[in-house]
Structure 1
Amino acid sequence: MTTNSIAAQRSAPPYHALWQRAWRFNRTLTLAILLHVALVPLLLLGMAVDPKVIGGANGWIKPLKFALSGGIYGATILWMLTYVQGRRRWVQGIATVTGVALIVETALITMQVLRGTTSHFNAATAFDGIVFGIMGTFIMLLSLAGFLLAIFLLFQRLPDPVVAWG
């Protein structure tokens, strides 16, 4: 091993350690983040090999947007939850609900693309109506979890005023 490679290893961000900490903090939310990140290249491949058009656009655009935004949202919620002190059960509940809701939403949106139909506001068949109802339920739970996190953060003494105002 050369001196340069040793220096590069020492200066590289400890991503593995971050993922380990995230996994210890809440496995469900961390798994959701990892699944969303892993889904991005698969959806890009879907865009390249499947010219399916749904609602006037490439069908794979919507699940791609949800995979990107879901991964970012999940990581942001995970980070923000680390600021909540003294409410371990609530924090774990919020993290778990967020992780499950993100997985269910993105999975159902992707499933509907595979079926060649829209995911939102779709009641064309009984099955489509059920799927849309499930999505509505999980997005409501996701919103409630985010609202509870916001309430808890209002009453926390945060170390950085910039984070508090954000």
Structure 2
Amino acid sequence: MTTNTPRLRLAYRPHVLARAVMDDLLRRERLLAQGGFILLALMVPTFIALGIDDRTLNGISVWIKPLKFQFSVALYLLTLAWFVGALPEETRRGRTVRILVNLALAASTFEIGYIALQAARGLASHYNVADPFHQLMYTLMGIGAVTLTAASPALAVLLLRHRPQAWSTAFWLSVLLGLTLTFMLGVGSGSVLSAGNGHWIGGVRTDATGVPVFGWSRTGGDLRVAHFLGLHALQIMPVLGLVAERWARGRTASFIVCAAALAYGAATLFVFVQALRGIPFIPA
């Protein structure tokens, strides 16, 4: 008698699952997936630099910012790759998707490259306008960030025109809303962030005593909280969509998704206003 148990166990091994996910993403949109995996791989030398380089900026290692941006942008590119893979093949191979992919990769390469370069030099990449060169680079960083984030609503339009047949209405709505909120909330909070001279509002202007991993200020307002929530709506909303379609069906699930999107936007706006008032997200 034969059994499928060994095969089932094999499928749940972490390295097998990771390889299956990688293969699926590469099949869906190879260039975006490769870009995301390269950024994840670059985290290894960045970790090494973090361990051997004792220079600090704003109270933390100069390599913390490149590390966080590498992970965040990698996750963004991989998410886009998965969504692009849901489009019809003729659309994926079309000019619009090629432009979207190339702009996203170019913008992310510039952003990560400059942030890493400045870290290696022991200098700030953000809010550094000390001379004409850094003023120009900071302006280009803003343009690059908007270009990268604009890939989200562009992809939402394509998915609106070419709804994947395998997706339920609730999940489809959650993806569309997530992509749209990422641009609206991410660029909206980011424009305020870039207009000032730092992400702190009141409190001590240091990241050394911030929330672990994220670094958000615990002594005053921090605009990065709302920016984080905005930029990651394209991952959070689809998860909420999956939950909704398992709890409910049809219009009820779609209503839950729309209500969740409104609540998510309101929550992001709330923490944004709280930051402007100088109130920390997680007080010390």
Bigger RCO (CA 8 Å, 6+ sep): 1
Matches within 5 A, 1:140-155: 140-155=146-161
Matches within 5 A, 1:117-132: 117-132=123-138
Moved more, 86-95 or 69-78: 86-95
2:167 to 157, 160, 164: 160
Aligned residue pairs, count? 161
Task: Give the structure 2 partner of residue 48 of structure 1.
Answer: 51
TM-score (norm 2): 0.50
Largest Rg, 1 or 2: 2
Asked if 1:95 is matched to 2:101, the reply is yes
Residues 63 and 150 (structure 1), Cα distance of their counterparts in 2 relative to 1, 3 Å cut: same
TM-score (norm 1): 0.82
Report if the CA contact (8 A) 2:111-2:144 is conserved: yes
Following superposition, the deviation at residue 157 of structure 1 comes to 2.1
1:80 to 77, 80, 83: 83
Q: Which has the higher helix share?
A: 1
SS at 1:160 equivalent: coil
Displaced runs of 4 or more, over 4 A: 6-10, 14-27
Identity of aligned residues (%): 25
Where structure 1 has 5 or more consecutive residues not aligned to the other structure, the ranges are 1-5
Task: Give the structure 1 partner of residue 63 of structure 2.
Answer: 60
Report if the CA contact (8 A) 2:28-2:82 is conserved: no
Counterpart Cα distance in 2 of 1:82 and 1:121:
37
Following superposition, the deviation at residue 64 of structure 1 comes to 0.5
Residues 104 and 28 (structure 1), Cα distance of their counterparts in 2 relative to 1, 3 Å cut: farther
Following superposition, the deviation at residue 30 of structure 1 comes to 3.0
Across the aligned residues of Structure 1 and Structure 2, the Cα RMSD in angstroms comes to: 2.4
Task: Give the structure 2 partner of residue 134 of structure 1.
Answer: 140
Following superposition, the deviation at residue 123 of structure 1 comes to 0.8
SS at 2:150 equivalent: helix
